[in-house]
Amino acid sequence: MKLIAKNLSKSYGPVKALDSASLAIREGEFVSLLGPSGSGKTTFLMMVAGLIMPDVGELRINGKLATYLPVQDRDIGMVFQNYALFPHLTVFENIAFPLRMRKIDENRIRSAVGEALEMVRLSSTADRVPAALSGGQQQRIALARCLVYKPSIILMDEPLGALDRKMREEMQLEIKRIHRALGTTLLYVTHDQDEAMTMSDRICLMHDGRIEQLGVPEELYFSPQTAFAADFLGNSNFMDAEVMGRDQDMASLKLAGGQVIRARLKESLLQSDHVRVMVRPERLRLGPAEPGSDCNEIRGTVFDTVLVGEVTRVYVHITADITVSATSLTGTHAQLPALDSVQAMHWPVSDTLVFSR
């Protein structure tokens, strides 16, 4: 393993910033630390960088104990959100800076800087100053400065947060391309679920200082282990339900208002009487279920339809307290249900996820 963190914890007075976090990262892997503000992801990253020391726990880098190792001895590169470029130096000198600090031969510096600029596709900018570049270009230069001395692990702390949406999406693909080309081990902090889903080999979802779930993007999206994980990644419809009957792990669930659906219960919920049901909006289909199909069906009153570019969302009141949305690709001549009309909706029983309430 390239990086092994074991039971890392950090407290600031009564506040637990990180609570027994353990994570192992393989050589060449891209892992994102994802979570809301205050979830502990930046604290974890700063511990790996050596900028924060843990109260408890152990950190190993390249097989060596690195828990209290000085920053300069960790063989780690870091890219920040604000770029941290020297405004008075040219692009070439910004990228060359870490090599000059390591007293590298001048010929090797020129070769290495040229390679780094070529990698981020900005060879023509070597003589410019950072102020003459766009935000996206500056971020690529910051990345090149990190790549130039070939660190063992690259850390990125919300590096795209200052960019507009279009530029951010372009940079996501650019960073992913560079990662694949170099095979560098990368630990990336973000609160943007789309960013994490787009770029990561695995996602480490954090909540209240703990690791909530760790897995590949598809696993976290389609098989979330907790209601928080289901709610944080993607859009979700949640409904409280009462367990009416069980046939092994298949249960009949009564929603508020009396409508009944079916779902498979996880082993930990087999004795529960009250649960939370979740279904993704894109799995809901307007209209009644086909007779004999293994689908759940509910009815409600349409109160809004919203066109969001490539998708259209239909919002339906199941009761005064329960609202669900169905998402479908926008069609030029799509027939949308009328406002205040009663609308049936259905989805496969297998797409019904159940969590503790």
Structural domain boundaries in the chain:
3-231, 235-356
Q: Quick one: tokens of 306?
A: 């919203």
pLDDT tens-digit series, residues 325-354 = 999 988 766 678 999 999 999 999 999 999
Mean pLDDT of the chain: 93
CA angle 105, 106, 109 (to 5 degrees): 90
CA distance 120 to 141: 7
Q: For residue 266, what is the DSSP state?
A: P
pLDDT tens-digit series, residues 298-321 = 999 999 999 888 899 999 999 988
Reported pTM: 0.90
Q: Quick one: tokens of 288?
A: 């009644």
* DSSP H or E run through 61: strand 56-61
**Could you give the 3-state DSSP secondary structure of residue 204?**
strand
Give pLDDT, residue 342: 96
Q: With 70 as the cut, is the pLDDT of residue 13 above it?
A: yes
Residue 152's Cβ-count burial label (10 Å; 0-12, 13-18, 19+) is middle
Residue with tokens 């074991």: 6
Contacts (Cβ under 8 Å, ≥6 apart) of 308: none
Q: Report in angstroms the alpha-carbon separations of 66 from 41, 63, 151, 211.
A: 19, 9, 15, 21
CA angle 261, 262, 267 (to 5 degrees): 140
Domain 3-231 sits in which CATH superfamily? P-loop containing nucleotide triphosphate hydrolases (3.40.50.300)
CATH code for the domain defined by 235-356: 2.40.50.100
**β 342-348/285-286 pair status:** antiparallel
pLDDT tens-digit series, residues 278-298 = 999 999 999 999 998 999 999
pLDDT tens-digit series, residues 45-76 = 999 999 999 999 999 999 999 999 999 999 99
pLDDT tens-digit series, residues 122-175 = 999 999 999 999 988 998 999 999 999 999 999 999 988 878 888 889 889 989
Q: Quick one: tokens of 321?
A: 């307290």
